[in-house]
Structure 1
């Protein structure tokens, strides 16, 4: 790996969580981004996992350990690999299946009502329960009809995000039009605006 890659520090925007996939399990997989290039880890410390769970609507309300963070990252990668295998109609890794199913069998967070009739999530092991909940949602996605809607952003290799294409006609190409879609359109515009001398140079290099 080059020194440039090793010293790269993602921007605050690149480290921000993505909730655009249309499914919580895929949003969880998106906590690691830029998979085709340097890679961007968005769960860099235990507190990041706490923040993601709250943002995803799973307030586990406990202090996350380094072990919890490691478990979360491993589950995330299992979900990503299985979803990508489903997308490309590839044979899944049995080890990944076993790992996801093991998490799905783990006691999950249970919704409860408090005295003010507000929902709270309860578990003897809140973080493991939260991860088990995500695993169960991944099982439901990958075994259900919406599995056929999994797509990868057309912004690859700059973007590796997986999402559900629920658009009319199933024509959605980007994780976000205002992000990857706009970048692609700008790149195409610049390409069209390239000086004619550049195009002539390209033509001159073609075999005659």
Structure 2
């Protein structure tokens, strides 16, 4: 594997939190490769997404948690895609609504070493509570007309991800400028080079433009 290919593969596995909502960030863990490939990665995602405070141990997180979050991820992706397409998605929507009934982890105020108050959780949260928090985020997103109007599909080739466009002027085109955006810029540059090269080759060809 070349260094470039290694960097591309490593980048594809990095956990991302740039889609604008927790539920969309969960969907993003399935593309372009499986990013939730173990319980440790799920714990990292839950912390990075802000669903649990840093340092939460989540000792009960295991294969069952992983399967449940992957299942909810698929249901949310189906519902969001159907909503953007204007088509029904009965079973997936019912599933998201059912999970959203689970109460989220109860918060509590925790005194930090510097004397200020920070957010903690009342006990070690269980899987259903955390799933409920993500499902509620999806329900709130899709039922809020203002937020719903900001949903965008990534313009990157073969990228299925959806994000919330909160950019100035609403001009964001890609789920990530560093991945899909950069890929598109490189492809555009290559197309431009090929056009120039083809033009030069045509000019040198006898009978072609500029030829004898």
- With normalisation by structure 2, the TM-score equals 0.79
Q: In structure 2, what is the equivalent of residue 71 of structure 1?
A: 68
Of 42, 45, 51, which residue of structure 2 is paired with 1:49?
42
Show CA shifts across 1:96-127 (max 9, x none): 11111111111211211134432112367423
Task: Name the Cα RMSD after superposition.
Answer: 2.1
Query: Partner of 1:84 in structure 2?
Result: 81
Select the residue among 97, 108, 131 that pairs with 2:104: 108
Distance 2:78 2:45 in 1: 20
What do the CA deviations read for 1:146-182 (whole angstroms, capped 9, x no partner)? 112111111130x222101122332211112233222
Runs of 4+ aligned residues of structure 1 deviating over 6 Å after TM superposition are: none
Match in the other structure for 1:151: 152
1:56-97 CA distance string (max 9 Å, x none):
112253121211110000001111111111222222x21111
**Kept after mapping to 1: 8 A contact 2:16/2:29:** yes
Within 5 Å, which residues of 2 pair with 1:188-207?
A: 188-194=188-194, 195-196=197-198
For residues 19-38 of structure 1, the aligned pairs below 5 Å read 19-34=17-32
2: CA distance, partners of 1:62 / 1:124: 6
- Runs of 5+ consecutive residues of structure 2 not aligned to the other structure: 1-7, 203-212
Contact 2:105/2:130 (8 A) holds in 1: yes
TM-score computed with the length of structure 1 as normaliser? 0.81
Matches of 1:111 and 1:160, distance apart in 2: 34
Higher-Rg member (1/2): 2
